[in-house]
Amino acid sequence: MILTVTLNTALDITYRVGALRPHTSHRVSDVTERPGGKGVNVARVLAALGHETTVTGFAGGATGRAVRERLADAPGVRDALFPVAGPTRRTIAVVDELTGDTTQLNEPGPQIAPAEWGAFLDRYEELLGGASAVALCGSLPPGVPVGAYAGLIKAARSVGVPVLLDTSGEPLRRGVAARPDLVKPNADELAELTGSHEPARATQDARRRGARTVVASLGAQGLLALTPEGRWRATPPTREHGNPTGAGDSVTAALLSGLIEQLPWPDRLTRAVALSAATVRAAAAGEFDRMAYEKLLGQVAVTGGPAAG
């Protein structure tokens, strides 16, 4: 079982409009609602790839109930969300059908009380007992300690469960120092962590700070991976247009599935780039266009190798 942790779960709402123009009213042509938050998206993609997955994190209020009701309809995903008093947040994506661009609005999330955080830690340690890998994903809701991910990494490492960390800012900096097996920052997050805007140098610095493996997401330029085995670069055949929400989460899912399946790094990165591009083509986060994914698998270019590490 792969465990995904989403401390700041969300109800993802996607609106589609003909053309998004500031300071005007818009007629929405389509609305979709999905259980969301980075780790929830990761879990849904993992389940679609055939992996048993459990979701944990916080859920509260009417929005939290909506998330759990919709999660019950996600095949292959087990709900182990922890109830809290505060309401789960919503995220709003507005897709401009004329340009293909997406505007994202993210609420902050519920206030987590110290007692709720302590009870969650007990539940997390129980779930680790049945986990083959764990993904720690996304932002921290108010009230959760900024070093939360560092503590969750140490707990997983203490029982031999490999950890992937996908967050940003100070939680990323503290999490990297706890020595996760893999971190997956985007270019901006990597630059904020290391102070370098040169990806090759920044990935080396991130490894020196504690991460065993760094896979940097460079948007349309694909992925750059620095691992103990070597360095690889994987690039998509074309730039995709659509809804990018969840594309990075599909990368996380691909890397986790590749870890569990013990795939060589070029195959893991090929899967990650293809899944990410296929997610951009899908209607909502946590989904991917399977036909596009299978086609893209044969079109991703991977360079590098063990000698480059």
Backbone angles phi, psi at 132, to 5 degrees: -95, -20
CA 143 to chain CA centroid, nearest Å? 21
Counting other chains too, the contacts that 65-71 makes at CB distance below 8 Å and 24 or more residues apart are 66/11, 66/33, 67/9, 67/10, 67/11, 67/35, 67/36, 67/40, 68/35, 70/11, 70/33, 70/34, 70/35, 71/35, 71/40
* E strand map for the chain: 2-6, 10-17, 28-36, 53-60, 77-79, 82-84, 89-96, 102-106, 133-137, 163-166, 182-183, 213-217, 223-227, 230-235, 301-305
Catalytic-role residue among 166, 249, 267, 289: 249
249 among known catalytic residues = yes
Catalytic residues: 249
